[in-house]
Structure 1
């Protein structure tokens, strides 16, 4: 269908802004969707560089233990070698599955999700990076009811929050990740707390604004500085009917606490 005389195309960001108000709203919505999708792909790209080094280490482990098994004929040594090879291969398969899940665009379906398992999966992807910066991760993960959600979206949420916490600390600090059930509100509460630099009071209201950032650009790991990470987090939380609270003290650290409603499993779509 051809655009009207007072309405220009809204097919992409390279076109002029439409003059019609409703078309402008659609145009802005399209741009926002593309920005968030770009952030998702950037997240995958940032992980790829880290995972390349990780896969090299896994391959070296497999090769070295394969050679050990070939050199030694005794059953105990071969069993040890095969066990280490299997562990490395399983880790590689796990990482591949998680990265591919992040790369796929969301279907819009919300499935029953175990938030504790999602936290552990995120830490698999960030383990080497956190070790590099000497970050101590303390987990307080209780057995909680499932929530309705998108596994890949919640993974992105966690990756952003944990990476932000690591960047606030820089090196030699602690990140506490807490998952608990709150019976009073029938919600699952996820908290990511760091002992980093903290956020000034005047900056706090702006942290979820699109393109707002206090960083001059990506850090040494190639992450951050776009001003889209926390915007994407807020969108993911809203799509999951969650609520977020941020507490921060300059020089002491920041805590992001998110409440997700417990799933009504009778109405939940079974996970694939």
Structure 2
């Protein structure tokens, strides 16, 4: 019996329910790797942009003897360094938090951190961000790392839905029982017949990754749905072709917790 035949025989001996669990675990691993690849790509581009800014202004400061020109160069170098520090803090925060547990989480802060990573990308594609964080926004019971994966995926999707540029609006609100997040773009929209399919694994409305190397795997939204449902939350989509798409997420709120907008 060949190795392939042995593997097939062993697979048949595994109960169907266990096979499904194994396949789901493999899919979760693929989803995590896809998100990690996009995050790594984003962070690498951001650091490269910051580094080029530092190098260019350092050379400018060295060439110019004029004190005002040198002061301007130093100011730009300081701004770029502070931005690099924010990017580093965001990525290190993800690396340190490997716990699977869920705890009261300031989702507004997670959103701000995600926008730090995506700031230049949004600017490059002429996408502006509007935020509306309600003063009564509660903290959510969540795993910060997993929820940031959802945020990055939905924000990148929103950017890709507007290839000519536009606006993405992010709204948070809630009460003592639930946290509500809405991420809305004003792009191409999704046809009605495709809406029931977009959360299915390997289904994508895109032809493939765009020039930034992101999107088109069909794993992103499936991962978002799985993560939100594992938090005892819900995610739904509203979309109109030619007008845009909104993803609405509801999560359990932590008791007696309101974050500052």
Task: Work out whether the TM-score is over 0.5.
Answer: yes
Interval of TM-score (by shorter of Structure 1 and Structure 2): 0.7 to 0.9
Alignment size in residue pairs = 250
1:58 aligns with 2:50: yes
Equivalent runs, 1:126-165 vs 2, <5 Å: 126-143=118-135, 144-165=137-158
- For structure 1, list consecutive stretches of 5 or more residues without a partner in the other structure: 1-7, 267-272
1:122 CA displacement: 0.9
Which residue is equivalent to 2:110?
A: 118
Deviations 1:23-67 (A, max 9, x none): x32233233223222222222222333333322232233345556
Q: Measured at CA, do residues 152 and 138 of structure 1 come closer, stay the same or move farther in structure 2, by a change above 3 Å?
A: same
Larger displacement relative to structure 2 (80-89 or 24-33): 80-89
Which residue is equivalent to 1:18?
A: 12
1:226 aligns with 2:217: yes
Which residue is equivalent to 1:4?
A: none
Q: Measured at CA, do residues 69 and 192 of structure 1 come closer, stay the same or move farther in structure 2, by a change above 3 Å?
A: same
Deviations 1:134-166 (A, max 9, x none): 112111112322112111111110111111111
For the residues of structure 2 that align with 1:20 and 1:229, how far apart are their CA atoms? 29
Q: Measured at CA, do residues 221 and 66 of structure 1 come closer, stay the same or move farther in structure 2, by a change above 3 Å?
A: closer
Larger displacement relative to structure 2 (106-115 or 147-156): 106-115
For the residues of structure 2 that align with 1:98 and 1:250, how far apart are their CA atoms? 35
Q: Measured at CA, do residues 105 and 182 of structure 1 come closer, stay the same or move farther in structure 2, by a change above 3 Å?
A: closer
Partners of 1:69 and 1:77 within 8 A in 2: no
Question: Higher helix fraction: Structure 1 or Structure 2?
Answer: 2
Partners of 2:110 and 2:148 within 8 A in 1: yes
Secondary structure at the counterpart of residue 262 of structure 1:
strand
1:253 aligns with 2:247: no
Task: Pick 1 or 2: higher relative contact order, CA cutoff 8 A, min separation 6.
Answer: 2
> What TM-score, normalized to structure 2?
0.82
